[in-house]
Structure 1
Amino acid sequence: MYNIKKLNKISPVIYDYLPKEQYNVTSHLEDSESDAFLVRSADCHGMEFAENTLAIARAGAGTNNIPIDRCTQQGIVVFNTPGANANGVKELVLGAMISASRNLPEAYDWAKTLKGQGEEVPELVEKGKGQFVGGELKGKTLGVIGLGAIGIMVANAASAIGMNVIGYDPFLSVDKAWTISMYTHKAEKLDELLEKADFITIHIPQTDKTKGFLSTPEFSKMKDGVIVLNFARGGLVKSTSLFDAMESGKVKKYVTDFPDEEMIGHPGVLAIPHLGASTPESEENCAVMAAQQLKDFFETGSIHNSVNMPECIVPPSDTVRITILHKNTPNMVGQITNKIANYNLNIADMANKSRGEIAYTVLNLDHDVTPEVQAELGNIEGVIKIRVI
């Protein structure tokens, strides 16, 4: 029985994948009793993780609410669910582009002021509508920064409605590239996108390196009157630079799903209260993916969609399986296999994957693994965490 603590409200669909006969999934657990955590927005930075904690599954893409480095040091696998909420965000980005371009928020607010004018309303509407005239999206150029699951869906949808699309992602994978519309032009340099786009939408993770990704140098290269959309993370856009760009007319409007105190009420900002993935469909998709990842990890040792550990997909096995998270140093696998050989244990199959300074070794053995063997393996310098399945 595995204990999984919910730190937020999670769609009950998780119980279809984590049956109660094998998994105790509840919010009523002590942190120290939890083998894993399911989280959406709860801040985990102040948490202390016990030795028995094996994994954290984030039902969403962003993981800035999780102490990734500390989890890595403690051998805790952190999963996220990239793409599970992509359609919900994509649709909101398209709606936001239309709203900003056609001045719908301003028009809506103005129309409410006509309440009580009786039969004069139709005439007042015709007289006043000219102040809200906006442009169509068809034929305009959209720049998409970051071609991950969401960015690609936005790019493809924009192409389908007749927009010219420029995408920029220096780390675009081959698998992702196959899913991009043939009509999307891939920019080799960010400047090419900034100089040509009428709309710019950013879809990259927020890290120490990407914080303030759009700042004064980037805004200065944009077309006058550009509309910028941020449905990724607030810190990707430097606020002071943005306000300067709006004051000068360089940026016509800024649409953000992550408003702060300064942005709320600003005439050039369309502030949305983090609604990108707030759909029943997105929440269910994220919950399903998170639950499946935990189930696969607990039952087979497979690691898929981890933000801090190597990708390692291993099929179920009838043999005894031992998984070892360890430092990615020379002769580590040799030391592990030698220890096992010293106990006359036969390795039927094995996998070894690495990611930076961390590696993951999975071994299928023809014999049971005693506590003594586990202790011997754990004493190898650089071994972080061992588990027998």
Structure 2
Amino acid sequence: MFNIKTFNAIAPEGMSRFDKDNYTINERETPDGIILRSQKLHDYAFPESVLAVARAGAGTNNIPVAECTEKGIVVFNTPGANANAVKELVLASLLLSVRPILQGAQWVQGLTGEDVEAQAEAQKAQFAGHELEGKKLGVIGLGAIGAMVANDAYRLGMEVMGFDPFVSVDTAWTISRRVQRAQDLNEVLTTCDFITVHVPLTDKTKGMIGAGEIAKMKPTAKLFNFARGGIVDDDAVLTALEATELAGYTTDFADEKLLHHDKILVLPHLGASTDEAEVNCAKMAARTLKRFLETGVIKRSVNFPTVEMAFNSPYRITIINKNVPNMLGQISSAVAEEGINIENMVNRGRDDYAYTLVDINEDDEAKVAAVAEKLTANPEIIRVRVIKNETGAC
């Protein structure tokens, strides 16, 4: 029986995946798994029981990922589950940046008299705007969201250029061949009329768009940030706007110094705030966490490699260890010393850590436990789990 701890309200469509025969929800202070949305866990004291944390969303900056990795806690996210919601908000913001729709709607509310229609017709010229068709959009980061923005912006009649040196093969297949591929970031900065950023916040991307990058943009360019607040240097944006070296900035991340500026539109982090996105994220997070707890399979983790293998043996041993030489040999020896055959094994490394699935052809629970005890005693091994195959085939 696994126990799941929740932070925030998780859509019931996701939580319903944890069947009552095998899961309890928030019944113990020693959970096996945690599922959350935006709750910050940096001050949370993780019990030793915690095996995994699943974020119902793409960003994981509210989770101490490095600490979790050191403790052998797998951190999952839900890339792509909220991509359509963010994409639609980006497209809406592009339209709002060229058409003063909000300003016009607010102005109309102040009209009075029987000739309101005539007043509106007479003064509507002050809210004339421009069209997106024929303008050039630069998309920095071609993950799930960036790829969708690029494709749909092209369908709006825009010329689209994308830049992402690390674009995945799966994503590459989804990007329209009409989207130009930039060879470097400077090509996007110097040629595009609109630039939207869609990269995760890491040590390498923090402040990615700063004074130097903004200086390379056209003075008529408009910048959009629906990724994470720290990726764009807000002070550099303000300086550029005051010097008329940038035409506008739209962000989904509120900061007091950005408010009340006629060239800045600040939204209250609405990117994934749709009912559909919350449900999709909850379903994906629950499905990923459930599969890991029951089979040890890792998919969509931000701190451990993807490791998948069909589970057909009586028992599976999962091992999280430091990525050092001869670890597979030590694991194999520990199994062989108990006279057990390895039926299947897969190992993947990621930076300083590695993850291994070992399926063994053994029904004796005591012998399997003895193997796990030997492996746990290895100082290079962080966590060992024994999973019994309850179905015969997973």
TM-score band (shorter)?
A: over 0.9
Q: How does 1:127-276 map to 2 (within 5 A)?
A: 127-276=122-271
> Structure 2: how far apart are the matches of 1:211 and 1:18?
37
For the 8 Å contact 1:59–1:81, the answer to whether it is kept is yes
Q: Detail structure 1 runs of 4+ shifted over 4 Å in the superposition.
A: none
Letter in 2 for 1:12: P
Q: Secondary structure at the match of 1:212?
A: coil
> Structure 2: how far apart are the matches of 1:112 and 1:235?
36
For the 8 Å contact 1:348–1:364, the answer to whether it is kept is yes
Deviation at 1:360, TM superposition (A): 0.7
- Residue equivalent to 1:108: 105
For the 8 Å contact 1:159–1:184, the answer to whether it is kept is yes
> Structure 2: how far apart are the matches of 1:22 and 1:15?
13
Deviation at 1:366, TM superposition (A): 1.3
Q: Which moved more, 1:348-357 or 1:65-74?
A: 348-357
| Structure 1 residue 78 corresponds to structure 2 residue 86 | no
Letter in 2 for 1:78: V
Letter in 2 for 1:83: G
Q: Deviations over 1:285-318 (max 9, x none)?
A: 1011101101110111100000000100122324
Q: Secondary structure at the match of 1:349?
A: strand
> Structure 2: how far apart are the matches of 1:271 and 1:7?
27
Q: Secondary structure at the match of 1:178?
A: helix
> Structure 2: how far apart are the matches of 1:41 and 1:173?
26
Deviation at 1:16, TM superposition (A): 3.3
Q: Which moved more, 1:100-109 or 1:376-385?
A: 100-109
Q: Which moved more, 1:250-259 or 1:145-154?
A: 250-259
For the 8 Å contact 1:215–1:237, the answer to whether it is kept is yes
1:120 pairs with one of 105, 115, 118: 115
> Structure 1: how far apart are the matches of 2:267 and 2:328?
50
Seen in structure 2, the aligned counterparts of structure 1 residues 347 and 369 have a Cα distance that, compared at 3 Å, is: farther
Deviation at 1:381, TM superposition (A): 2.4
1:362 pairs with one of 357, 363, 366: 357
Normalising by the residue count of structure 2, what TM-score does the alignment of the two structures yield?
0.95
Deviation at 1:50, TM superposition (A): 1.6
Letter in 2 for 1:328: N
Letter in 2 for 1:386: V
Q: Deviations over 1:268-287 (max 9, x none)?
A: 11111111101111001101
Letter in 2 for 1:314: M
- Residue equivalent to 2:5: 5
- Residue equivalent to 1:18: 18
Deviation at 1:266, TM superposition (A): 1.6
Q: Deviations over 1:180-203 (max 9, x none)?
A: 101100101111111111111100
| Structure 1 residue 277 corresponds to structure 2 residue 272 | yes
Normalising by the residue count of structure 1, what TM-score does the alignment of the two structures yield?
0.96
Q: Which moved more, 1:280-289 or 1:172-181?
A: 172-181
- Residue equivalent to 2:84: 87
For the 8 Å contact 2:137–2:159, the answer to whether it is kept is yes
Deviation at 1:122, TM superposition (A): 2.0
For the 8 Å contact 1:369–1:388, the answer to whether it is kept is no
- Residue equivalent to 2:333: 338
For the 8 Å contact 1:168–1:189, the answer to whether it is kept is yes
Number of equivalenced pairs: 384
Deviation at 1:20, TM superposition (A): 1.2
Letter in 1 for 2:205: T
For the 8 Å contact 2:42–2:63, the answer to whether it is kept is yes
Deviation at 1:338, TM superposition (A): 0.5
> Structure 2: how far apart are the matches of 1:314 and 1:274?
38
**RMSD between superposed Cα atoms in Å:** 1.2
Deviation at 1:145, TM superposition (A): 0.4
> Structure 1: how far apart are the matches of 2:259 and 2:23?
43
> Structure 2: how far apart are the matches of 1:141 and 1:25?
49
Q: Secondary structure at the match of 1:262?
A: helix
| Structure 1 residue 43 corresponds to structure 2 residue 40 | yes
Letter in 2 for 1:373: V
Letter in 1 for 2:372: Q
For the 8 Å contact 1:301–1:314, the answer to whether it is kept is no
Q: Which moved more, 1:76-85 or 1:272-281?
A: 272-281
Seen in structure 2, the aligned counterparts of structure 1 residues 29 and 121 have a Cα distance that, compared at 3 Å, is: farther
> Structure 1: how far apart are the matches of 2:219 and 2:28?
54
- Residue equivalent to 2:54: 57
> Structure 1: any 5+ residue segments left out of the alignment?
none
> Structure 2: how far apart are the matches of 1:319 and 1:165?
53
Q: Which moved more, 1:122-131 or 1:55-64?
A: 122-131
Q: Which moved more, 1:103-112 or 1:322-331?
A: 103-112
- Residue equivalent to 1:298: 293
Letter in 2 for 1:14: G
Letter in 2 for 1:202: V
